[in-house]
Amino acid sequence: MVNAIKGLYITCDIPMAQFIINMNASLPQSQKFIIHVLDNTHLFVRSDMAGMIRSAIATFREQNTYEKPT
């Protein structure tokens, strides 16, 4: 019998993949969203967590964006 899991395929660079993996590791077991790490730049995650992942990445990018002082 085949077991199928609905998920989201993410392609990103290595630092962003490490950020997502670290974010997943910081969550309790019941909230973990990574189904499988395919390689350094590809992840398979639960599709219902897409919004949470996107918002965490947006927050991370905002915090790490240089703004020239006026």
- Where do the structural domains in the chain lie, given as residue ranges? 30-65
Q: CB burial class (10 A; 0-12, 13-18, 19+) of residue 61? A: exposed
Beta bridge partners of 39: 42
pLDDT digits (tens, 9 = 90+) for 9-65: 999 999 999 999 999 999 999 999 999 999 999 999 999 999 999 999 999 999 988
Question: Residue type for 17, please?
Answer: A
Nearest one of 25, 54, 51, 52 to 37, comparing CA atoms: 25
pTM: 0.84
